[in-house]
Amino acid sequence: MHLVLFIVFAGLCLAGAINLLLQSHPINSALSLVVVMSSLAVLYLLLGAEFLAAAQVIVYAGAIMVLFTFVVMLLNAGREERTLGSRSAKAIGFPAVVAVLSVIATVILKAQGFTPVALSDNITSTADLSKVLFHELLLPFEVTSVLILIAILGAVALARPAHDERRGRTEAGK
């Protein structure tokens, strides 16, 4: 059953990545990236990395994607066109949702006898993981966060209209 779940969520991850590249609107691309990040979290869960799956959902699918969506909406000051949705999304999306939900329902119905898992000595605890992350890898962790912040500030600075253009618009509007 793990193989079936792996194939379903790996396909969902690939479909989200391809949709990310094919979308012309940045908000739709960000939503496709949320699908990719969530599918990766399920794949981590299938591998037995529960902490990594939870961190994937909380940090990447949650916080980083909210930040990306905020920046995209901040920089995209143009007016949105209203649509009722694409035909391909309706043609592919609804059957895909039904297929994923049916696979999940099948897995839940088949797994009636859960057995407790015994922890062995070779499993890394969350305390050991946090010691490595916040002691040995603290500098790369912080440098990455500063680089992301600089990239966002640079994008905002590049998208901001020039000082002369703003002055010209306000004088023309008077």
Domain boundary among 85, 114, 143: 114
Among candidates 28, 25, 24, which has minimal Cα distance to 16? 28
Same domain, 90 and 40: yes
- The total domain count for the chain is 2
Same domain, 62 and 98: yes
Domain that holds residue 32: 1-114
Q: Rounded to whole angstroms, how far apart are CA atoms 35 and 33?
A: 5
pTM of the model: 0.54
Q: What is the CATH number of the domain that holds 31?
A: 1.20.120.1200
Same domain, 105 and 172: no
Same domain, 100 and 128: no
Among candidates 18, 19, 59, 21, which has minimal Cα distance to 37? 59
Same domain, 110 and 128: no
> pLDDT tens digits for 60-101?
877 777 777 777 777 765 565 666 667 777 778 778 888 888
Lookup result for tokens 């490595």 = 132
> pLDDT tens digits for 5-46?
888 899 999 999 998 888 877 778 888 888 898 999 999 988
Same domain, 25 and 104: yes
| Helices assigned H by DSSP within 23-137 | 26-46, 50-55, 65-75, 87-110, 126-131
pLDDT at residue 170 tops 70: no
Q: Rounded to whole angstroms, how far apart are CA atoms 19 and 13?
A: 10
